[in-house]
Protein backbone atom coordinates (compact mmCIF):
# COMPACT_ATOMS: atom_id res chain seq x y z
CA UNK A 1 0.00 0.00 0.00
CA UNK A 2 1.43 3.36 -0.99
CA UNK A 3 1.42 6.17 1.54
CA UNK A 4 -1.94 7.86 1.57
CA UNK A 5 -0.80 11.23 2.86
CA UNK A 6 1.80 13.95 2.37
CA UNK A 7 3.38 16.25 4.90
CA UNK A 8 3.04 20.00 4.43
CA UNK A 9 3.88 23.04 6.53
CA UNK A 10 0.93 24.80 8.14
CA UNK A 11 0.31 27.54 10.67
CA UNK A 12 -1.56 26.15 13.69
CA UNK A 13 -3.63 28.98 15.16
CA UNK A 14 -4.62 28.32 18.77
CA UNK A 15 -4.33 30.80 21.64
CA UNK A 16 -0.87 31.38 20.20
CA UNK A 17 0.24 30.42 16.70
CA UNK A 18 3.03 28.14 15.60
CA UNK A 19 4.37 26.48 12.46
CA UNK A 20 3.66 22.76 12.30
CA UNK A 21 4.00 19.84 9.93
CA UNK A 22 0.57 18.52 8.97
CA UNK A 23 -0.32 15.30 7.20
CA UNK A 24 -2.88 15.85 4.44
CA UNK A 25 -4.66 13.14 2.53
CA UNK A 26 -3.35 12.43 -0.96
CA UNK A 27 -5.67 12.52 -3.95
CA UNK A 28 -4.76 11.99 -7.57
CA UNK A 29 -6.37 11.82 -10.98
CA UNK A 30 -6.85 8.19 -11.90
CA UNK A 31 -7.92 7.20 -15.39
CA UNK A 32 -9.86 4.00 -15.89
CA UNK A 33 -9.97 2.69 -19.46
CA UNK A 34 -12.28 -0.24 -20.19
CA UNK A 35 -12.04 -2.11 -23.49
CA UNK A 36 -10.01 0.78 -24.92
CA UNK A 37 -13.16 2.84 -25.48
CA UNK A 38 -14.78 3.67 -22.15
CA UNK A 39 -12.65 6.23 -20.31
CA UNK A 40 -13.42 7.80 -16.96
CA UNK A 41 -11.40 10.04 -14.68
CA UNK A 42 -11.64 9.92 -10.90
CA UNK A 43 -10.15 12.06 -8.13
CA UNK A 44 -9.29 9.39 -5.59
CA UNK A 45 -6.63 8.10 -3.22
CA UNK A 46 -4.03 6.38 -5.43
CA UNK A 47 -4.08 3.08 -3.54
CA UNK A 48 -5.67 -0.37 -4.01
CA UNK A 49 -6.31 0.47 -7.65
CA UNK A 50 -6.97 -3.11 -8.71
CA UNK A 51 -9.63 -3.46 -6.01
CA UNK A 52 -11.07 -0.08 -6.99
CA UNK A 53 -11.36 -1.06 -10.66
CA UNK A 54 -12.95 -4.44 -9.89
CA UNK A 55 -15.41 -2.96 -7.40
CA UNK A 56 -16.33 -0.04 -9.65
CA UNK A 57 -16.93 -2.27 -12.67
CA UNK A 58 -19.03 -4.71 -10.65
CA UNK A 59 -21.02 -1.90 -9.01
CA UNK A 60 -21.69 -0.28 -12.39
CA UNK A 61 -22.70 -3.59 -13.94
CA UNK A 62 -19.79 -3.54 -16.41
CA UNK A 63 -18.73 -6.98 -15.16
CA UNK A 64 -20.85 -9.62 -13.41
CA UNK A 65 -18.02 -11.75 -12.02
CA UNK A 66 -14.24 -12.10 -12.14
CA UNK A 67 -14.70 -14.38 -15.14
CA UNK A 68 -15.61 -11.34 -17.24
CA UNK A 69 -12.17 -9.81 -16.63
CA UNK A 70 -9.73 -10.86 -19.34
CA UNK A 71 -6.86 -8.54 -18.44
CA UNK A 72 -6.00 -5.73 -16.06
CA UNK A 73 -2.87 -3.56 -16.09
CA UNK A 74 -1.96 -0.68 -13.83
CA UNK A 75 0.68 1.84 -14.82
CA UNK A 76 1.07 4.81 -12.49
CA UNK A 77 -2.33 6.51 -12.50
CA UNK A 78 -3.87 4.63 -15.40
CA UNK A 79 -5.83 1.42 -15.02
CA UNK A 80 -6.62 -0.53 -18.19
CA UNK A 81 -9.13 -3.35 -18.11
CA UNK A 82 -10.26 -5.68 -20.83
CA UNK A 83 -13.63 -7.24 -20.12
CA UNK A 84 -15.61 -9.86 -21.96
CA UNK A 85 -19.37 -9.40 -21.70
CA UNK A 86 -21.87 -10.06 -24.44
CA UNK A 87 -23.98 -7.01 -23.63
CA UNK A 88 -21.06 -4.68 -22.85
CA UNK A 89 -22.17 -2.09 -25.41
CA UNK A 90 -25.65 -1.84 -23.92
CA UNK A 91 -24.38 -1.60 -20.34
CA UNK A 92 -21.70 0.90 -21.36
CA UNK A 93 -24.36 3.06 -22.97
CA UNK A 94 -26.21 3.10 -19.66
CA UNK A 95 -23.16 3.95 -17.56
CA UNK A 96 -21.79 6.60 -19.88
CA UNK A 97 -25.20 7.98 -20.72
CA UNK A 98 -25.86 8.91 -17.13
CA UNK A 99 -23.66 11.60 -15.71
CA UNK A 100 -21.58 10.65 -12.70
CA UNK A 101 -23.36 13.30 -10.63
CA UNK A 102 -26.72 11.70 -11.27
CA UNK A 103 -28.72 9.56 -13.57
CA UNK A 104 -29.92 7.26 -10.81
CA UNK A 105 -33.59 7.34 -11.77
CA UNK A 106 -32.76 5.62 -15.01
CA UNK A 107 -30.55 3.10 -13.21
CA UNK A 108 -33.11 2.09 -10.58
CA UNK A 109 -35.23 0.46 -13.28
CA UNK A 110 -32.46 -2.04 -13.95
CA UNK A 111 -31.96 -3.16 -10.35
CA UNK A 112 -33.16 -6.56 -9.13
CA UNK A 113 -34.47 -7.01 -5.61
CA UNK A 114 -31.83 -8.37 -3.21
CA UNK A 115 -32.80 -11.86 -2.06
CA UNK A 116 -30.98 -12.90 1.12
CA UNK A 117 -31.67 -14.61 4.43
CA UNK A 118 -28.74 -12.79 6.03
CA UNK A 119 -29.07 -11.38 9.55
CA UNK A 120 -26.62 -9.61 11.84
CA UNK A 121 -26.65 -9.32 15.60
CA UNK A 122 -26.96 -5.83 17.09
CA UNK A 123 -23.80 -6.27 19.20
CA UNK A 124 -21.77 -7.49 16.23
CA UNK A 125 -22.95 -4.54 14.16
CA UNK A 126 -21.85 -2.10 16.87
CA UNK A 127 -18.49 -3.87 17.23
CA UNK A 128 -17.83 -3.58 13.51
CA UNK A 129 -17.91 0.21 13.86
CA UNK A 130 -15.29 0.14 16.62
CA UNK A 131 -13.11 -1.98 14.33
CA UNK A 132 -13.86 0.35 11.42
CA UNK A 133 -12.56 3.34 13.37
CA UNK A 134 -9.48 1.38 14.48
CA UNK A 135 -8.75 0.62 10.81
CA UNK A 136 -9.22 4.20 9.62
CA UNK A 137 -5.47 4.84 9.61
CA UNK A 138 -5.48 7.64 7.04
CA UNK A 139 -8.46 9.32 8.64
CA UNK A 140 -6.71 9.21 12.02
CA UNK A 141 -3.68 10.95 10.50
CA UNK A 142 -5.39 13.41 8.17
CA UNK A 143 -9.08 13.73 9.09
CA UNK A 144 -9.69 13.68 5.36
CA UNK A 145 -10.57 10.13 4.30
CA UNK A 146 -13.60 7.88 4.29
CA UNK A 147 -13.31 4.28 5.42
CA UNK A 148 -15.38 1.27 4.39
CA UNK A 149 -15.36 -2.34 5.50
CA UNK A 150 -16.86 -5.43 3.92
CA UNK A 151 -17.80 -7.89 6.64
CA UNK A 152 -18.30 -11.56 5.85
CA UNK A 153 -18.12 -14.32 8.45
CA UNK A 154 -14.59 -13.98 9.89
CA UNK A 155 -13.39 -11.59 7.15
CA UNK A 156 -13.11 -7.84 7.73
CA UNK A 157 -11.82 -6.18 4.55
CA UNK A 158 -11.30 -2.44 4.99
CA UNK A 159 -10.10 0.31 2.66
CA UNK A 160 -9.91 4.10 2.77
CA UNK A 161 -10.36 6.76 0.13
CA UNK A 162 -10.98 10.49 -0.19
CA UNK A 163 -14.18 9.49 -1.99
CA UNK A 164 -16.79 7.62 0.02
CA UNK A 165 -17.97 5.94 -3.17
CA UNK A 166 -14.50 4.72 -3.99
CA UNK A 167 -13.89 3.45 -0.43
CA UNK A 168 -16.91 1.22 -1.00
CA UNK A 169 -15.78 0.31 -4.55
CA UNK A 170 -12.44 -0.80 -3.09
CA UNK A 171 -13.90 -3.14 -0.48
CA UNK A 172 -16.34 -4.59 -3.01
CA UNK A 173 -13.37 -5.21 -5.31
CA UNK A 174 -11.39 -6.74 -2.45
CA UNK A 175 -14.38 -8.98 -1.67
CA UNK A 176 -14.68 -10.02 -5.31
CA UNK A 177 -11.00 -10.97 -5.44
CA UNK A 178 -11.41 -12.99 -2.23
CA UNK A 179 -14.55 -14.66 -3.56
CA UNK A 180 -16.77 -13.35 -0.76
CA UNK A 181 -20.42 -14.38 -0.96
CA UNK A 182 -21.92 -10.86 -1.15
CA UNK A 183 -25.42 -12.13 -0.35
CA UNK A 184 -24.20 -12.95 3.16
CA UNK A 185 -22.02 -9.91 3.78
CA UNK A 186 -22.55 -6.28 4.65
CA UNK A 187 -20.85 -2.91 4.35
CA UNK A 188 -20.02 -0.71 7.35
CA UNK A 189 -18.79 2.71 6.39
CA UNK A 190 -18.37 6.38 7.14
CA UNK A 191 -20.38 8.30 4.58
CA UNK A 192 -23.89 9.34 3.66
CA UNK A 193 -26.19 7.04 1.73
CA UNK A 194 -27.67 8.49 -1.48
CA UNK A 195 -29.15 6.50 -4.38
CA UNK A 196 -25.95 5.87 -6.31
CA UNK A 197 -24.40 4.24 -3.23
CA UNK A 198 -27.44 2.02 -2.69
CA UNK A 199 -27.58 1.08 -6.38
CA UNK A 200 -23.99 -0.17 -6.12
CA UNK A 201 -24.92 -2.28 -3.06
CA UNK A 202 -28.04 -3.61 -4.77
CA UNK A 203 -26.17 -4.51 -7.93
CA UNK A 204 -23.71 -6.75 -6.09
CA UNK A 205 -26.63 -8.31 -4.19
CA UNK A 206 -25.67 -7.14 -0.71
CA UNK A 207 -28.48 -7.16 1.87
CA UNK A 208 -27.33 -4.49 4.35
CA UNK A 209 -25.43 -1.21 4.55
CA UNK A 210 -24.64 0.59 7.80
CA UNK A 211 -23.13 4.03 8.27
CA UNK A 212 -22.33 6.46 11.04
CA UNK A 213 -23.88 9.14 8.82
CA UNK A 214 -27.28 10.00 7.33
CA UNK A 215 -29.41 8.58 4.52
CA UNK A 216 -30.88 10.79 1.79
CA UNK A 217 -34.37 10.46 0.32
CA UNK A 218 -33.05 8.95 -2.92
CA UNK A 219 -31.00 6.34 -1.04
CA UNK A 220 -33.97 5.54 1.17
CA UNK A 221 -36.15 4.98 -1.91
CA UNK A 222 -33.64 2.57 -3.48
CA UNK A 223 -33.10 0.66 -0.22
CA UNK A 224 -36.84 0.22 0.22
CA UNK A 225 -37.41 -0.83 -3.39
CA UNK A 226 -34.38 -3.14 -3.61
CA UNK A 227 -34.99 -4.85 -0.27
CA UNK A 228 -31.79 -3.59 1.37
CA UNK A 229 -31.58 -2.96 5.12
CA UNK A 230 -30.31 0.59 5.61
CA UNK A 231 -28.83 1.46 9.01
CA UNK A 232 -27.75 5.02 9.76
CA UNK A 233 -26.24 7.15 12.51
CA UNK A 234 -24.36 4.29 14.17
CA UNK A 235 -22.88 6.24 17.08
CA UNK A 236 -21.82 4.72 20.37
CA UNK A 237 -24.52 2.20 21.28
CA UNK A 238 -27.23 3.64 19.05
CA UNK A 239 -28.39 3.52 15.47
CA UNK A 240 -31.51 3.94 13.33
CA UNK A 241 -32.87 1.33 10.92
CA UNK A 242 -34.65 2.95 8.00
CA UNK A 243 -35.70 -0.01 5.86
CA UNK A 244 -36.24 -3.76 6.19
CA UNK A 245 -35.33 -3.96 9.90
CA UNK A 246 -35.81 -7.76 10.13
CA UNK A 247 -32.15 -8.35 9.25
CA UNK A 248 -30.89 -6.81 12.50
CA UNK A 249 -31.34 -9.16 15.45
CA UNK A 250 -31.88 -6.90 18.41
CA UNK A 251 -32.51 -9.31 21.30
CA UNK B 1 -37.43 27.90 -0.19
CA UNK B 2 -38.94 24.45 -0.60
CA UNK B 3 -38.69 21.99 2.27
CA UNK B 4 -35.33 20.30 2.22
CA UNK B 5 -36.33 17.13 4.04
CA UNK B 6 -38.95 14.40 4.16
CA UNK B 7 -40.30 12.46 7.12
CA UNK B 8 -39.96 8.68 7.11
CA UNK B 9 -40.61 5.96 9.67
CA UNK B 10 -37.52 4.40 11.24
CA UNK B 11 -36.66 2.05 14.05
CA UNK B 12 -34.53 3.81 16.67
CA UNK B 13 -32.31 1.20 18.32
CA UNK B 14 -31.03 2.32 21.72
CA UNK B 15 -31.08 0.25 24.90
CA UNK B 16 -34.62 -0.48 23.87
CA UNK B 17 -36.05 0.02 20.39
CA UNK B 18 -38.93 2.13 19.22
CA UNK B 19 -40.55 3.36 16.04
CA UNK B 20 -39.88 7.01 15.32
CA UNK B 21 -40.44 9.59 12.61
CA UNK B 22 -37.11 10.74 11.18
CA UNK B 23 -36.40 13.69 8.92
CA UNK B 24 -34.11 12.76 6.05
CA UNK B 25 -32.51 15.17 3.62
CA UNK B 26 -34.12 15.43 0.21
CA UNK B 27 -32.07 14.92 -2.94
CA UNK B 28 -33.30 14.96 -6.50
CA UNK B 29 -31.99 14.68 -10.03
CA UNK B 30 -31.64 18.15 -11.46
CA UNK B 31 -30.89 18.66 -15.14
CA UNK B 32 -29.02 21.76 -16.24
CA UNK B 33 -29.24 22.58 -19.94
CA UNK B 34 -27.03 25.37 -21.26
CA UNK B 35 -27.57 26.80 -24.74
CA UNK B 36 -29.72 23.78 -25.57
CA UNK B 37 -26.62 21.64 -26.15
CA UNK B 38 -24.69 21.23 -22.91
CA UNK B 39 -26.63 18.95 -20.55
CA UNK B 40 -25.55 17.83 -17.10
CA UNK B 41 -27.34 15.92 -14.37
CA UNK B 42 -26.76 16.53 -10.67
CA UNK B 43 -27.98 14.80 -7.52
CA UNK B 44 -28.64 17.79 -5.30
CA UNK B 45 -31.08 19.39 -2.89
CA UNK B 46 -33.87 20.82 -5.08
CA UNK B 47 -33.69 24.33 -3.66
CA UNK B 48 -32.17 27.69 -4.71
CA UNK B 49 -31.84 26.36 -8.26
CA UNK B 50 -31.30 29.77 -9.84
CA UNK B 51 -28.42 30.46 -7.45
CA UNK B 52 -27.04 26.98 -8.09
CA UNK B 53 -27.09 27.46 -11.87
CA UNK B 54 -25.47 30.90 -11.71
CA UNK B 55 -22.77 29.74 -9.27
CA UNK B 56 -22.04 26.55 -11.18
CA UNK B 57 -21.73 28.36 -14.52
CA UNK B 58 -19.48 31.04 -13.04
CA UNK B 59 -17.34 28.45 -11.23
CA UNK B 60 -16.96 26.40 -14.41
CA UNK B 61 -16.09 29.46 -16.47
CA UNK B 62 -19.22 29.12 -18.64
CA UNK B 63 -20.18 32.68 -17.76
CA UNK B 64 -17.95 35.54 -16.58
CA UNK B 65 -20.66 37.83 -15.23
CA UNK B 66 -24.43 38.19 -15.05
CA UNK B 67 -24.24 40.04 -18.35
CA UNK B 68 -23.50 36.75 -20.11
CA UNK B 69 -26.88 35.34 -18.99
CA UNK B 70 -29.56 36.02 -21.59
CA UNK B 71 -32.33 33.88 -20.14
CA UNK B 72 -32.95 31.41 -17.35
CA UNK B 73 -36.04 29.27 -16.82
CA UNK B 74 -36.73 26.71 -14.12
CA UNK B 75 -39.43 24.10 -14.52
CA UNK B 76 -39.61 21.46 -11.80
CA UNK B 77 -36.19 19.76 -11.88
CA UNK B 78 -34.93 21.24 -15.14
CA UNK B 79 -32.97 24.47 -15.35
CA UNK B 80 -32.49 25.97 -18.81
CA UNK B 81 -29.99 28.76 -19.32
CA UNK B 82 -29.13 30.71 -22.43
CA UNK B 83 -25.70 32.32 -22.23
CA UNK B 84 -23.92 34.67 -24.57
CA UNK B 85 -20.15 34.22 -24.57
CA UNK B 86 -17.90 34.51 -27.59
CA UNK B 87 -15.72 31.58 -26.56
CA UNK B 88 -18.56 29.39 -25.24
CA UNK B 89 -17.66 26.49 -27.52
CA UNK B 90 -14.06 26.41 -26.33
CA UNK B 91 -15.01 26.63 -22.65
CA UNK B 92 -17.76 24.06 -23.10
CA UNK B 93 -15.23 21.67 -24.62
CA UNK B 94 -13.11 22.07 -21.51
CA UNK B 95 -15.97 21.50 -19.05
CA UNK B 96 -17.51 18.58 -20.87
CA UNK B 97 -14.16 17.09 -21.82
CA UNK B 98 -13.14 16.66 -18.22
CA UNK B 99 -15.19 14.21 -16.21
CA UNK B 100 -16.96 15.62 -13.18
CA UNK B 101 -15.01 13.26 -10.93
CA UNK B 102 -11.71 14.64 -12.16
CA UNK B 103 -9.95 16.47 -14.87
CA UNK B 104 -8.54 19.11 -12.55
CA UNK B 105 -4.97 18.88 -13.80
CA UNK B 106 -6.09 20.15 -17.18
CA UNK B 107 -8.16 22.89 -15.55
CA UNK B 108 -5.39 24.22 -13.32
CA UNK B 109 -3.53 25.48 -16.37
CA UNK B 110 -6.36 27.88 -17.12
CA UNK B 111 -6.56 29.47 -13.70
CA UNK B 112 -5.27 32.99 -13.04
CA UNK B 113 -3.66 33.89 -9.73
CA UNK B 114 -6.08 35.56 -7.32
CA UNK B 115 -5.04 39.17 -6.73
CA UNK B 116 -6.58 40.64 -3.60
CA UNK B 117 -5.62 42.79 -0.62
CA UNK B 118 -8.38 41.19 1.46
CA UNK B 119 -7.73 40.28 5.09
CA UNK B 120 -9.97 38.85 7.82
CA UNK B 121 -9.60 39.08 11.56
CA UNK B 122 -9.13 35.80 13.48
CA UNK B 123 -12.09 36.52 15.78
CA UNK B 124 -14.38 37.37 12.86
CA UNK B 125 -13.38 34.15 11.11
CA UNK B 126 -14.22 32.10 14.21
CA UNK B 127 -17.54 33.92 14.62
CA UNK B 128 -18.53 33.14 11.05
CA UNK B 129 -18.40 29.42 11.90
CA UNK B 130 -20.76 29.87 14.84
CA UNK B 131 -23.13 31.69 12.51
CA UNK B 132 -22.63 28.97 9.87
CA UNK B 133 -23.74 26.28 12.31
CA UNK B 134 -26.73 28.38 13.41
CA UNK B 135 -27.77 28.66 9.76
CA UNK B 136 -27.38 24.94 9.02
CA UNK B 137 -31.12 24.34 9.45
CA UNK B 138 -31.33 21.23 7.28
CA UNK B 139 -28.20 19.74 8.82
CA UNK B 140 -29.65 20.33 12.29
CA UNK B 141 -32.80 18.43 11.31
CA UNK B 142 -31.28 15.65 9.18
CA UNK B 143 -27.52 15.44 9.81
CA UNK B 144 -27.23 15.00 6.05
CA UNK B 145 -26.48 18.37 4.45
CA UNK B 146 -23.47 20.57 3.86
CA UNK B 147 -23.69 24.28 4.54
CA UNK B 148 -21.74 27.11 2.93
CA UNK B 149 -21.69 30.85 3.54
CA UNK B 150 -20.35 33.68 1.43
CA UNK B 151 -19.20 36.48 3.70
CA UNK B 152 -18.78 40.01 2.39
CA UNK B 153 -18.73 43.08 4.62
CA UNK B 154 -22.12 42.94 6.40
CA UNK B 155 -23.56 40.25 4.12
CA UNK B 156 -23.76 36.60 5.22
CA UNK B 157 -25.32 34.55 2.42
CA UNK B 158 -25.77 30.91 3.40
CA UNK B 159 -27.15 27.88 1.56
CA UNK B 160 -27.31 24.15 2.19
CA UNK B 161 -27.08 21.13 -0.09
CA UNK B 162 -26.46 17.39 0.04
CA UNK B 163 -23.44 18.14 -2.17
CA UNK B 164 -20.68 20.24 -0.64
CA UNK B 165 -19.79 21.46 -4.14
CA UNK B 166 -23.33 22.59 -4.80
CA UNK B 167 -23.65 24.32 -1.40
CA UNK B 168 -20.70 26.45 -2.54
CA UNK B 169 -22.14 26.88 -6.06
CA UNK B 170 -25.34 28.20 -4.47
CA UNK B 171 -23.66 30.86 -2.34
CA UNK B 172 -21.47 31.93 -5.24
CA UNK B 173 -24.64 32.25 -7.33
CA UNK B 174 -26.36 34.16 -4.53
CA UNK B 175 -23.33 36.45 -4.34
CA UNK B 176 -23.36 37.02 -8.09
CA UNK B 177 -27.05 37.97 -8.01
CA UNK B 178 -26.38 40.38 -5.14
CA UNK B 179 -23.36 41.85 -6.97
CA UNK B 180 -20.89 40.91 -4.23
CA UNK B 181 -17.28 41.88 -4.90
CA UNK B 182 -15.79 38.38 -4.74
CA UNK B 183 -12.24 39.72 -4.44
CA UNK B 184 -13.16 41.00 -0.98
CA UNK B 185 -15.24 38.10 0.25
CA UNK B 186 -14.62 34.60 1.53
CA UNK B 187 -16.33 31.22 1.84
CA UNK B 188 -16.87 29.45 5.17
CA UNK B 189 -18.17 25.94 4.79
CA UNK B 190 -18.49 22.41 6.07
CA UNK B 191 -16.70 20.14 3.61
CA UNK B 192 -13.28 18.98 2.53
CA UNK B 193 -11.18 21.00 0.12
CA UNK B 194 -9.99 19.12 -3.00
CA UNK B 195 -8.76 20.68 -6.26
CA UNK B 196 -12.13 21.08 -7.96
CA UNK B 197 -13.41 23.11 -4.99
CA UNK B 198 -10.34 25.37 -5.02
CA UNK B 199 -10.54 25.80 -8.81
CA UNK B 200 -14.09 27.10 -8.40
CA UNK B 201 -12.92 29.58 -5.75
CA UNK B 202 -9.97 30.66 -7.91
CA UNK B 203 -12.12 31.15 -10.98
CA UNK B 204 -14.41 33.62 -9.23
CA UNK B 205 -11.35 35.41 -7.82
CA UNK B 206 -12.00 34.72 -4.16
CA UNK B 207 -8.97 35.08 -1.85
CA UNK B 208 -9.88 32.75 1.05
CA UNK B 209 -11.74 29.56 1.87
CA UNK B 210 -12.22 28.21 5.38
CA UNK B 211 -13.66 24.87 6.45
CA UNK B 212 -14.19 22.83 9.57
CA UNK B 213 -12.84 19.86 7.60
CA UNK B 214 -9.57 18.79 5.94
CA UNK B 215 -7.70 19.81 2.79
CA UNK B 216 -6.47 17.24 0.26
CA UNK B 217 -3.12 17.36 -1.54
CA UNK B 218 -4.74 18.44 -4.82
CA UNK B 219 -6.63 21.28 -3.14
CA UNK B 220 -3.48 22.35 -1.33
CA UNK B 221 -1.59 22.48 -4.64
CA UNK B 222 -4.24 24.68 -6.28
CA UNK B 223 -4.50 27.01 -3.27
CA UNK B 224 -0.72 27.48 -3.24
CA UNK B 225 -0.50 28.06 -6.99
CA UNK B 226 -3.56 30.32 -7.24
CA UNK B 227 -2.67 32.46 -4.24
CA UNK B 228 -5.69 31.44 -2.17
CA UNK B 229 -5.58 31.32 1.64
CA UNK B 230 -6.77 27.88 2.72
CA UNK B 231 -7.94 27.49 6.31
CA UNK B 232 -8.91 24.04 7.63
CA UNK B 233 -10.18 22.33 10.76
CA UNK B 234 -11.91 25.39 12.17
CA UNK B 235 -13.10 23.88 15.45
CA UNK B 236 -13.90 25.83 18.60
CA UNK B 237 -11.14 28.44 18.92
CA UNK B 238 -8.62 26.69 16.68
CA UNK B 239 -7.77 26.31 13.01
CA UNK B 240 -4.87 25.60 10.66
CA UNK B 241 -3.75 27.85 7.82
CA UNK B 242 -2.22 25.83 5.00
CA UNK B 243 -1.40 28.48 2.41
CA UNK B 244 -0.85 32.24 2.17
CA UNK B 245 -1.44 32.93 5.90
CA UNK B 246 -0.95 36.72 5.57
CA UNK B 247 -4.68 37.21 4.94
CA UNK B 248 -5.64 36.15 8.46
CA UNK B 249 -4.94 38.87 11.02
CA UNK B 250 -4.14 37.02 14.21
CA UNK B 251 -3.28 39.80 16.66
Tell me: the pLDDT tens digits for B137-166?
A: 999 999 999 999 999 998 999 999 999 999
> Residue B86's pLDDT is what?
87
Looking at the fold, whether A205 and A130 belong to one and the same domain comes out as yes
Q: How far is A208 from chain B (nearest CA, A)?
A: 15
Q: Which residues contact A141 (CB under 8 A, 6 or more apart)?
A: A5, A23
> Residue A140's pLDDT is what?
97
> Residue B170's pLDDT is what?
98
CB contact residues (below 8 A), chain A span 77-96, against chain B: none
**H/E element, A104:** helix A104-108
From the candidates B103, B210, B217, B248, which should be mutated to test the interface with A, based on the most A CB atoms within 10 A? Answer: B217
CB contact residues (below 8 A), chain B span 93-122, against chain A: 98-105, 122
CATH, residue A244: 3.40.140.10
Three-class SS of residue A247?
Answer: helix
Residue A20 included in any domain: no
pLDDT, mean of residues A145-150: 98
Looking at the DSSP bridge assignments, the partners of residue B72 are B81
Looking at the fold, whether B240 and B130 belong to one and the same domain comes out as yes
Looking at the fold, whether A48 and A87 belong to one and the same domain comes out as yes
> Residue B111's pLDDT is what?
80
Query: Which residues constitute the domain of residue B169?
Result: 120-249
pLDDT, tens only, B96-144: 654 444 467 667 777 889 999 999 999 999 999 999 999 999 999 999 9
Q: Is the pLDDT of residue A158 over 50?
A: yes
pLDDT, mean of residues B49-78: 96
The 10 Å CB-count burial string (b at 16+, else e) for A32-66 is bbbbeebebbbbbbbbbbbbbbbbbbbbbbbbeee
Looking at the fold, whether A143 and A212 belong to one and the same domain comes out as yes
Closest chain B residue to the Cα of A243, Cα to Cα? B10
Contact A194/B at CB under 8 A = yes
Strand ranges inside chain A, DSSP E: 5-13, 17-25, 28-34, 38-44, 69-75, 78-83, 120-121, 146-152, 155-161, 186-189, 208-211, 229-235, 238-243, 248-249
Q: Is the pLDDT of residue A62 over 60?
A: yes
Q: Strand A17-25: give its sheet, edge to edge.
A: A17-25, A5-13, B238-243, B229-235, B208-211, B186-189, B146-152, B155-161
Looking at the DSSP bridge assignments, the partners of residue B126 are none
Residue A184 included in any domain: yes
Looking at the fold, whether A74 and A147 belong to one and the same domain comes out as no
Contact B30/A at CB under 8 A = yes
Q: How far is B104 from chain A (nearest CA, A)?
A: 8
B218: nearest Cα among A29, A41, A77: A29
Residues of A with Cβ-Cβ distance to B213 under 8 angstroms: 143-144
pLDDT, tens only, B78-96: 999 999 998 888 877 777 6
Residue A39 included in any domain: yes
Closest chain B residue to the Cα of A146, Cα to Cα? B192
Q: What's the whole-number average pLDDT of chain B? A: 93
A50: nearest Cα among A204, A203, A174, A157: A174
Of residues B25, B102, B192, nearest to A29 (C-beta): B102
Residue A112 included in any domain: no
> Residue A101's pLDDT is what?
44
Residue A11 included in any domain: no
B2 — pLDDT class (breaks 50, 70, 90): low
Contact A28/B at CB under 8 A = yes
Q: What is the 3-state secondary structure (H, E, C) of chain B?
A: CCCCEEEEEEEEECCCEEEEEEEEECCEEEEEEECCCEEEEEEECCCCHHHHHHHHHHHHCCCCCHHHEEEEEEECCEEEEEECCCCHHHHHHHHHHCCCCCCHHHHHCCCCCCCCCCCEEHHHHHHHHHHHHHCCHHHHHHCCCEEEEEEECCEEEEEEECCHHHHHHHHHHHHHHCCCCHHHCEEEECCCECHHHHHHHHHCCCCEEEECCCEEHHHHHHHHHHCCEEEEEEECCEEEEEECHHHEECC
Looking at the fold, whether A131 and A94 belong to one and the same domain comes out as no
CB contact residues (below 8 A), chain B span 222-251, against chain A: 233, 237-242, 245, 248, 250
Looking at the fold, whether A75 and A184 belong to one and the same domain comes out as no
Whether B13 sits inside 8 A of A105 (CB atoms) is: no
CATH, residue B93: 3.10.20.10
pLDDT, tens only, A13-38: 999 999 999 999 999 999 999 999 88
Whether B13 sits inside 8 A of A240 (CB atoms) is: yes
Output phi, psi for B36, to 5 deg: 65, -10
Classify the C-alpha dihedral A54-A57-A58-A63 as positive or negative: negative
Looking at the fold, whether A162 and A99 belong to one and the same domain comes out as no
Residue B94 included in any domain: yes
Contact A14/B at CB under 8 A = yes
Looking at the fold, whether B91 and B125 belong to one and the same domain comes out as no
Q: How far is B199 from chain A (nearest CA, A)?
A: 14
Closest chain A residue to the Cα of B40, Cα to Cα? A99
Residues of A with Cβ-Cβ distance to B245 under 8 angstroms: 11
Residue ending a domain, among A75, A103, A131, is A103
CB contact residues (below 8 A), chain A span 33-62, against chain B: 40-43
Residue A239 included in any domain: yes
CB B135 within 8 A of CB B158: yes
Looking at the fold, whether A167 and A92 belong to one and the same domain comes out as no
Report strand pairing: A229-235 vs A208-211: parallel
Residue B2 included in any domain: no
ipTM metric: 0.92
Whether A237 sits inside 8 A of B15 (CB atoms) is: yes
B209 in catalytic set: no
Q: How far is A115 from chain B (nearest CA, A)?
A: 22
Closest chain A residue to the Cα of B248, Cα to Cα? A13
Overall number of domains in chain B: 2
Residue ending a domain, among A103, A129, A155, is A103
Looking at the fold, whether A142 and A178 belong to one and the same domain comes out as yes
Closest chain B residue to the Cα of A39, Cα to Cα? B99
Residue ending a domain, among A70, A103, A136, is A103
pLDDT, mean of residues B199-217: 96
Whether B13 sits inside 8 A of A122 (CB atoms) is: yes
Whether B27 sits inside 8 A of A216 (CB atoms) is: yes
Contact B220/A at CB under 8 A = yes
Looking at the fold, whether B146 and B83 belong to one and the same domain comes out as no
Amino acid sequence: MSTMYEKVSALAVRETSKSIQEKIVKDAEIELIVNKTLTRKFSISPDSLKEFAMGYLLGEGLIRSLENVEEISIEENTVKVQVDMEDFDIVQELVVGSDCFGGWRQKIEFIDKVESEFTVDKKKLLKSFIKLKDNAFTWQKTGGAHVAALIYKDKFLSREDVSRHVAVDKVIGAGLLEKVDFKNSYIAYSGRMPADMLIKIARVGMPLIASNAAPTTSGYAVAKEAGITMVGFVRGERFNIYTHPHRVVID
